[in-house]
Each structure stands twice: as structure tokens, then as C-alpha cells.
Amino acid sequence: MSETGIGARVKRKEDHRFITGKGRYTDDINLKGQVYAYFVRSPHAHAEIKSINTAKAAKAPGVLGVFKGEDVAEDKIGGLICGWMIHSKDGSPMKAGPHPILAVGKVRYVGDHVAVVVAETREQAKAAAALVEVQYGVLPHNVDAAKAKSAKGQVHEVAPNNLVFNWSLGDEAATDAAFKKAAHVTRLEIVNNRLIPNAMEPRAAIGSYDTGDDHYTLYTTSQNPHVARLVISAFHGLAPEHKLRVIAPDVGGGFGSKIFIYAEEVVCLWASKRVGGRPVKWTAERTESFLADAHGRDHVTHAELAMDKDGKILAMKVNTIASMGAYLSTFASCVPTYLYATLLSGQYNIPSIYAEVDAVYTNTAPVDAYRGAGRPEATYVVERLVETAAREMRIDPAEFRRRNFITSFPHQTPVIMCYDAGDYNASLTKALELADYKGFPARKAEAAKRGKLRGIGFSNYIEACGIAPSAAVGSLGAGVGLWESAEVRVNPVGTVEILTGSHSHGQGHETTFAQLVSDRLGVSIDNVSIVHGDTDKVQFGMGTYGSRSGAVGMTAIAKALDKIEAKAKKVAAHVMEAAEGDVEFKDGSFSVKGTDKKMAFGEVALAAYVAHKFPTSEIEPGLKESAFHDPTNFTFPAGCHICEVEIDPDTGVTQIANWVAVDDFGSVINPMIVEGQVHGGIVQGVGQALTEGCVYDSGSGQLLTGSYMDYCMPRAADVPSFKLAFTETKCPSNPLGMKGCGEAGAIAAPAAVINAITDAVGVKDLPMPATSQVVWNALQPMKKAAE
Amino acid sequence: MENFTYHRPHHATDAVKLMKAAKDGKFMSGGMTLLPAIKHGLASPSDIIDLGGLKHAGVAVSGSVVTIKAGTTHAAVADDAGLKKAIPGLSKLAGGIGDPHVRNCGTIGGSIANADPAADYPAAVVGLAATVHTDQRKIAGDKFFTGMFETALKPDEIITAVEFPMPKRSAYVKFPNPASLYAMVGVFVAELADGSVRVAVTGAGPSVFRVPDMEKALEKGFSPDSISGVTVKADDLNSDIHASSAYRAHLVNVLARRAVEQAK
């Protein structure tokens, strides 16, 4: 392993820029003649728009334009789309209600985009927005997923009973038959709490229309600028792709919430033309982020697990209601279906599984993919069920898991996925050792002496990353392919530019991608630059989400590097006057077998560009290659997290006393960055389990957790120092053997925490977030019983 | 945020004049509550009269009394060596307010004038039987807080200092709201020089309040066990998504016992 190659703990190249305040985010960009947009948003959860009077606002100082839905319709700008078609059990397509970029006729959640004011300054736009007079006729609303089907108000005309789809996966008859033979059945009612993403950088956009060239440019906080361009072009119909450039510069975190194409970004582009080509900037205020970024999770589930008398799992049955919010966001429909139910087998050999999912509309912000997207919800169901089953059957939870682990690969689950590689026993064994599982009873007894309740919980998660192949996802309803592209440009002096369709918004691609190049071409990472996030520079890209940038994005780069090496060998063979088959490439230099002839990579690059020493009729000058990579399968990272908590029964406060995470991510490019991803993921998962809960008031439909005064993000003090370790089984479906690590922590953590708390308290279930009040409430009946 | 006129007078008399002349003026000390309120559009004063120019800052320990000038930041109060010895409970309270930014800008005068029901200082002002000095008079701590965000101050009255008599022992224990870190419940317990005991509770109700039953019990025996059975009624307490009134009532007892333990 070289100092900067694969496996090296290289410090992140991009951090100097970020730490010294030189990051260039969308809001840092100011174009000549720039003006500002401010959105008028719905104060109601559900209402008819009777009239919008913009006269006063239009006359306010600095105002260039006040626009509403009718203006958008006049220009025939299409609405927002959902890019994954799901069909109900009965074969009918999902009921997608219209989602115009400015509301038409109705508003459907608090924060819905009603009108926009464009003015010379941000303050003028905001002041004028307060003068827009909207007359509403309030309609009955519902914010609760569980009540959506019987709610009085109907969110969309196309969706009776607010049902978007009723989808199923698995063999119902076989599952029912297996349950009949069960010696024990474990049942749980599970709520997966709604979360608000909270990227550090709020969403922002600058839409700029060039009247000279009839060309649009959008600067935006996107995880996938090419997909944004495709959708804005093909569905909103604003401009054809060659007349639209989308740039996603430095982006300060996304966690999924910046995958989607939102109304505000499209409005900025459209409005720029309306105000004569002046660039229109919008930067979300934090309150707008809370109200109008796509939220995550929000599932209500009834789950059952059937076992034989020895604790072998026979079957699983899951019934989930998933809130989609008020509109179907870009990829909302695939989250509670193909990203959720396909993972219900967990790490276990379960002969039959049947899942049914009702996706429903509620009068809340749209719900879409958020770190883990469906997989945290699946893991939570599986790992809560398994832990509870073990306790009910009085089998040690580690032993229960061992009895049911999948041990041979490939393994076809009853829910589509074919696991390619893994060693679940290995990660469990290592985790038990690191967590000193044997010492737990003693620690529990010691804690009891101090008046504290100690509990331990497991989470043996599995996830599916690098969603693929394109043909398969297409057959399941995806509107796009899920390959990735890359281009490698070797400069005449031997430095390298990588143009990638993956987008970095915190992941460290500028470092890890350079490590791959360094490893393969033997050049220093300082001589490699990574270019991404600009549709005019990068040929195409599907973007970054679902932990796909390593397994899919880097594989595309590796393929292009293969082509570079092959061509460079040809050039080197001519220059060194040797047969191509005799040229070897190692550690950055080309040599001729059995001779002392040698050329450095840089010399070959120069030779390729000078083109003096090879026939250009056979070999084209230059050294630049590109590749598209479509994986043959998902990748399946998995691992074991063990959480130990201590609870103060006087206050209900939970303290995480110990955390062990043993993950199998396949090959690891940069262990330091991977550990950072695991840390961040766990903290996000702990946030879901202990502190974060999005609350809408059922009576008013207002968002009660609309600021950091009420929405509680986890803090450093809420978590201990994590003990991390890795096991490794290579992923067979990509040449680098990588699986992906971006979401694992967030997927694993909630179940580990709640399993530990329920163990400590001695209850079957507790709602998330398990705040001190929740835990204290759970303890009261037991205290009374003890008295 | 609406525009406003900013003033920074150097004398209290000028500050009062400016306030009288303003259409809807607001005194500002550290601005840690007022500025966020203005930014969120919850307050839109015509004039801000910044009292920072009055240079009312400093902690003085003299005999049996500690005097903290109104413009003293929480950080300065927490760091004062004399106060750490004289009233450690008060020193610790100041060191636990908000976060470092808030502690280095926010002041004791600003905090008590704002009278946020979840602020920490009101518990100490009432719990230690302090006296609030203004440019016009002295107000007993017990009479100062009159309700949620309400005090005995007149609109043009400026706090100049808070005078704390040194107790025999005291402690403050706070249970922070997990999101905002304001006191969901905070209890200040003190045995005063004359042997009387005070238990003052912030965060739990609309305004700081005392718990006479606990005070009587602790006067008989200053130990956590003395009050283990003494509860407060949940009926009058705050209830929100973070804590029900029943949970708050329970926490008052838990924190009071812990404060007594710490003060022992």
C-alpha cells in the first residue's frame, strides 16, 4: 500500500478549503445584476385558494415581479414529478396528484409554495411578500399517517381515501401457512418517527437566463445536477438540455434531502426570464428548511415474526402505512417499497416474507429519501422483532441471531434481493468481544447499586447500496438508469483530471477518488484533481445517494483508468520500440520485459500528446478516456452494532455508556473517512432514537418543531467515543470489492438504542424519540406495580 | 426584520430620555433574547437603546453581600473568583446558562428584565432573596417577577445591579430542555444566613415560584430525605411537547433533592 493509495489514511484534500472559509457554496456566488426571490407560503395545512391579490406587493419598493401559479401555467411550465412508478396490488398505477411549482387552487401543507416575489434586495422581497393578500377557505386536514385513509379531508382529487398505492411484496399464502405452523409468534406495533434532515447548508439557488443566447444556468444545492437538468428540461419544459447548465458547487451536506428537484429552484430559473434575464437568487431561511425540505421516515407498522420451538425463524409479515406528505417528491414512492420491503430479510434466513405497504397523503411536507432511505425503517422492523422474539423465547439475543444467520452465499431472499457476500457471524463475534458482552451482567449489577438501569441492545443491520442494475430497477418502475460515468483526462505533463458524475457534498471524493488514481497510475494525489457538479464539464452523472459513489462512481473511474493504461501501453510500446505485449505497467512506470527500458507515466503522457513516435493512423494522439459503469447487482454492506445504555430512573434520562460498531464495507479506500462516515451515521441514528422527532399539531396542522428551539438535533455530548472495527468480505460485483459506508450508522443505530432501552426498562416497546419524558412515562406503571 | 434606530448612550439619564422619546423603544443589554426575537419578526421596536455604553459591569463581594452590576456577562459572573467562594451555587448557575456565545454576551440585568419563564437567574434572585437595584429604587427579589415575561419594572426604569445576601449554603440544579437547553425545570435551594430556607423553581411554571412546603421541611432538617414526599401540584405548571406538567412536577422534586444534596 502506497502512502496515498487505496487503504491509506490520507487527510482530506478538500478540508483546507472548508476549514479556512474558502468553500464556494451557492449563496457565496453573486452574479451581476442579481435580484432576490422570497416565497409566500401557506399558513394553513389544507385550504382552497380563493384569491391572490398581488397589487400592493407589486408596488412595494424594489419589486420587479410578483408571480403566482397562473403565471406559471401561462408559460406552460410543468409541475414537479415523482420519478418512480409504483403499481398497487390490483395493478393500478400510483395516484400522483398535481404538484405545480406555485400552488394552483389549493394548498396542502403549512409551508406550501403559493407565490413568489422578486425584488432588488432580499429584504425588499421579504417585505413585499408580506403584502401579498391571499384569501383562503380552510379545509379539513390530517397530519397523521395512521389516520390518513379515514381522514375527513382528501388531499388530492385523484387519490380517494388519501391512498397513493397499496403495494405488496412476497408470497402471502406461503407466509400465512408458515405462521400456522409457528411455535411462537412475536408481534410489534412500530412507529418510525418523522425526521427533518437539517443539512448544515440550507437549500439555495440562482436561476439565470441569458437573453442573448436564450440559455439558462442554474446554480443549486444538488446532489445530482445532471438529474436536475434532465427533469427540469424534460418535465418542467423550461429549456432543452443543451440550453440549460446546472452547477452544484460546494454543497454543505445533503443526507438525501438535496437529491430532489424542488419548486423553489425551478421558480428561480423561470422567474429570471420573467424579470428580463436578471439572475434570481433564493436562499432558504432555516425556518423554510424545516417547513419545506423533504422530510424522512414517518412509517406506522404492524409486524409479526413466526418461529419454530427452537427459535428458528419461519416467516415474517409486515403491514406498513407510509406517509408521503402532501405531494409525491422526486423519489418518494421507491423509499417505502423497493428500498424498504426488499431488506426485510435482514441478515437472516427467512423462508417466507410478506409485506404490504399503504402509501398515504397527509397535510405535511413531502417525505422522501433521508440517509438510509427505507433501509433504516426495514432494519428497525427486523431488529426490533428479532430482539423481542429472542426475549420472549428466553434465548440470548446474540444466540438467537446466530441460529438464524444466512451463512452461505449467494443467498436469494424471498424479497427480491440476492445477497452476494457476507460473514455475519464474524461481525457479531468481533462485536461481542469488543463490547465485553460477557461482562455485561456484572456492569448491570454495578449500575443497579448506583440506582441506575443498564441495558444492552443489538442491531445486526444489512443494507443494499449502489442500487442497480439499470434494467432491473427499470423493470421495478424507476424512471432513470442507475449507472455512473467518469472521464479521465491525463494532461501532457502527467497530471490527471477526473471528471465524475458522482457529487461530493461532504463525502471526501476529492481525496478518495484521487487515492484510486494514485493507486492505479502511481501519481501523487497532489497531481490529481476531481471535477464534479457541473453539467457543462462532466459528460453525465446520476449523482450521489444510496452510498453509490464508491461502488458505482469509482468503478466507472476504474474502468476509464483501465482504458488509459491500455492506451498508454500502446504509446509506450512504440516509444520504447517493443511489442505491446512485452510492456508492463507497475508503480507508475512502464517497462519492457527482459530489458532495462523504462518510461515514467508522465513521459508516456507527454509522448501521447506530442505524437511524434507512433502512427496516428493507428493510435489517436492524446490520453483521455471515459467510461459508463452499470453494476450487475446491489452491494450489501452489513454489520453488528451493540449499544449499552444507562438510565436514570428518577429523570428518565438515557446515557449511552458504550457503543461498538463492527462493519463489513468490503474494501476500504480511506479508513479515516470511513470511520467519519460511521461516526456521523451513528449520531444521526442516535438522534432519531433519542432526540429528533418532527411534530405537527393535529389540531392546527402547524409544524411545532419548526426551529432548533424545539427540534432537537443530537449533540456531541449525547454520544460516547465509539469503538469501531471492520471485517471484510469483498463485494464480488465490482472490481474494487467496495460496498459503501455512507448510511450504515444511521441504519443500524436506532434499533440498537431502542433495544438497549427496552432491555434496561423491561418494556416491550417505546416510541422514538425516547426522550427522558418517554422513558420516565414507561417506568411509571412499573414503579406503581413495585409499590 | 423591521428597521430600527440604534442608540448607545453613556449615561442612564440619557438612556431614559431616549426611551421616553421613542415611539416603541426597547432597552437592550446583551441582546441574546431581543435580537433573535427581532430577527424572527416577534418584536419590532422602533428604537433600540443599548445599555452596554453605561459600563454597568463587575462583581463585588463585600462583607455578607455580593453585588453584581446589571451589565455583567454570565461568563464574567461564572469566572469571578470571589463569587465562587461566596456563593458557589450562583457561580455555577451563571456558568450553565445557554452556550459560550450567550454567556459572553448575555447579562444578568438583561436576563432578569426579560423574565423568560425558562431563564436561570430568576431562580437565584428569588432563591437567594436578592434585591434588584434600579436607577429609581430598590425592588425585593420576591416582588420583581410578576408573570410570564413580566416584571415590576416601569417602562423607562433601568436595572443597575442585583444584590445577593450570602447564604449559608446553596445550589442550583437544572434539567435543560434537550433542544433549546433552556431550563425545562431549574431549582435553586438556599439556606440563608438567618437559617431560613428557600426553594425557588424556574422553567416549570409561567414564572419563577417558591415551594413553601419544601422550605418548611428543609428548615426542620436540611437533607434530601426531608422533602422526598413533598410534591408540587402539576395543575399550574407548563406543558409542552417536551414535558407534560406531571413530568415537570416530578422533576421539581427530583431536582430539589439533588440541589439539597449538592448544597450540603
Q: What is the CATH number of the domain that holds B126?
A: 3.30.465.10
Do A675 and A613 share a structural domain?
no
In Å, the largest CA–CA distance within chain B is 57
Do A404 and A530 share a structural domain?
no
The residue from A612, A629, A646 where one domain ends is: A629
Q: Which of A123, A695, A777 sits opposite B241 (nearest CB)?
A: A695
Do A437 and A311 share a structural domain?
yes
Using a CB-CB cut-off of 8 Å, the residues of chain B touching A695 are 241
Do A242 and A121 share a structural domain?
yes
The whole-chain average pLDDT of chain A stands at 96
Q: Give, in degrees to the nearest 5, the angle at Cα A638 between A637 and A643.
A: 135
Question: What per-residue confidence (pLDDT) applies to A466?
Answer: 87
Cα–Cα nearest to B25, from B42, B43, B41, B1: B43
**Yes or no, beta carbons of A651 and B243 under 8 Å apart:** no
Catalogue the long-range contacts made by B9-15 (C-beta closer than 8 Å, 24 or more residues apart): B9/B49, B9/B50, B9/B51, B9/B53, B9/B54, B10/B53, B10/B54, B10/B55, B11/B54, B12/B54, B12/B135, B12/B158, B12/B160, B15/B49, B15/B51, B15/B54, B15/B158
CATH, residue B184: 3.30.390.50
* Helix H or strand E segment including A427: helix A424-434
pLDDT in tens, A30-70: 999 999 999 999 999 999 999 999 999 999 999 999 999 99
Q: Helices marked H in A10-121 — which ranges? A: 15-19, 55-59, 69-74
pLDDT in tens, B136-182: 999 999 999 999 999 999 999 999 999 999 999 999 999 999 999 99
Using DSSP, state whether A245 is helix, strand or coil.
strand
CA atoms within 13 Å, Cβ hemisphere of A262: 32
Write down how long chain A is. 787
Residue A490 lies in a domain: yes
Q: How many domains does chain A have?
A: 3
Supply A339's cell numbers: 428500498
Q: How many domains does chain B have?
A: 3
Q: Which of B178, B180, B254 sits opposite A650 (nearest CB)?
A: B254
Peptide bond into A769 cis (omega under 30): yes
Q: Do A658 and A720 form a contact (C-beta atoms < 8 A)?
A: yes
Do B216 and B158 share a structural domain?
no
pLDDT in tens, B227-257: 999 999 999 999 999 999 999 999 999 999 9
Cα–Cα nearest to A388, from A293, A490, A305, A452: A305
pLDDT band at B260 (very low <50, low <70, confident <90, very high): very high
Do A59 and A206 share a structural domain?
yes
- Does residue A340 register a pLDDT over 60? yes
pLDDT in tens, A493-525: 999 999 999 999 999 999 999 999 999 999 999
Do A494 and A613 share a structural domain?
yes
Distance of alpha carbon A35 from alpha carbon A208, whole angstroms: 10
Q: What are the residues facing A757 on neighbouring strands?
A: none
Distance of alpha carbon A72 from alpha carbon A51, whole angstroms: 16
Q: Which amino acid is at A161?
A: N
The domain in which residue A37 lies consists of: 31-139+200-253+258-292
Q: Which of A287, A711, A772 sits opposite B179 (nearest CB)?
A: A711
Q: Which amino acid is at B186?
A: G
Residue carrying C-alpha cell 400522483: A96
Q: Do A69 and A103 form a contact (C-beta atoms < 8 A)?
A: yes
The residue from A572, A596, A629 where one domain ends is: A629
Residue A9 lies in a domain: no
Query: Which residue numbers of A have CB closer than 8 Å to B's CBs?
Result: 123, 287, 650-652, 691, 695, 704-705, 708-713, 771-773, 776-777
pLDDT band at B18 (very low <50, low <70, confident <90, very high): very high
Do A443 and A326 share a structural domain?
yes
Do B93 and B35 share a structural domain?
no
Using a CB-CB cut-off of 8 Å, the residues of chain B touching A779 are none
How near does any CA of chain A get to the CA of B179, in Å? 4
Using a CB-CB cut-off of 8 Å, the residues of chain A touching B40 are 287
Look at strands A35-41 and A280-283 and give their pairing.
Answer: parallel
Cα–Cα nearest to A323, from A165, A463, A477: A165
Mutation target vs B (from A709, A719, A783; most B CBs, 10 A cutoff)? A709
B2 backbone φψ class: left, alpha, beta (φ>0; ψ -120 to 50): beta
Q: In sequence order, what are the residues at sequence separation of 6 or more whose Cβ sits closer than 8 angstroms to the Cβ of residue B130?
A: B124, B141, B162, B163, B164, B165
In Å, the largest CA–CA distance within chain A is 94
Query: Which residue of chain A is at minimal alpha-carbon distance from B178?
Result: A712
**Helix axes A375-392 and A744-761, enclosed angle (nearest 10):** 30
- Does residue A1 register a pLDDT over 60? no
Strand order in the sheet with A352-360: A163-170, A352-360, A313-323, A299-307, A184-192
The domain in which residue B108 lies consists of: 56-165
pLDDT in tens, A185-212: 999 999 999 999 999 999 999 999 999 9
* Helix H or strand E segment including A138: strand A133-138
What does residue B123 show for φ and ψ, rounded to 5 degrees? -60, -40
Residue carrying C-alpha cell 406506522: A300
- Cβ pairs A/B, distance under 8 A: 34
Using a CB-CB cut-off of 8 Å, the residues of chain B touching A709 are 179-180
Distance of alpha carbon B128 from alpha carbon B90, whole angstroms: 9
Report, in angstroms and rounded to the nearest whole number, the Rg of chain A calculated over CA atoms. Answer: 27
* Helix H or strand E segment including A139: none
Do B220 and B257 share a structural domain?
yes
Do A491 and A625 share a structural domain?
yes
pLDDT in tens, A77-133: 999 999 999 999 999 999 999 999 999 999 999 999 999 999 999 999 999 999 999
Do B161 and B72 share a structural domain?
yes
Residue carrying C-alpha cell 400465512: A176
CATH, residue B13: 3.30.43.10
Supply A326's cell numbers: 402532501
Using DSSP, state whether A530 is helix, strand or coil.
strand
**Yes or no, beta carbons of A691 and B179 under 8 Å apart:** yes
Do A603 and A621 share a structural domain?
yes
Do B86 and B40 share a structural domain?
no
CATH, residue A117: 3.90.1170.50
pLDDT band at A711 (very low <50, low <70, confident <90, very high): very high
Do A365 and A279 share a structural domain?
no
Do A531 and A623 share a structural domain?
yes
CATH, residue A617: 3.30.365.10
Do A317 and A438 share a structural domain?
yes
Look at strands B159-165 and B169-176 and give their pairing.
Answer: unpaired
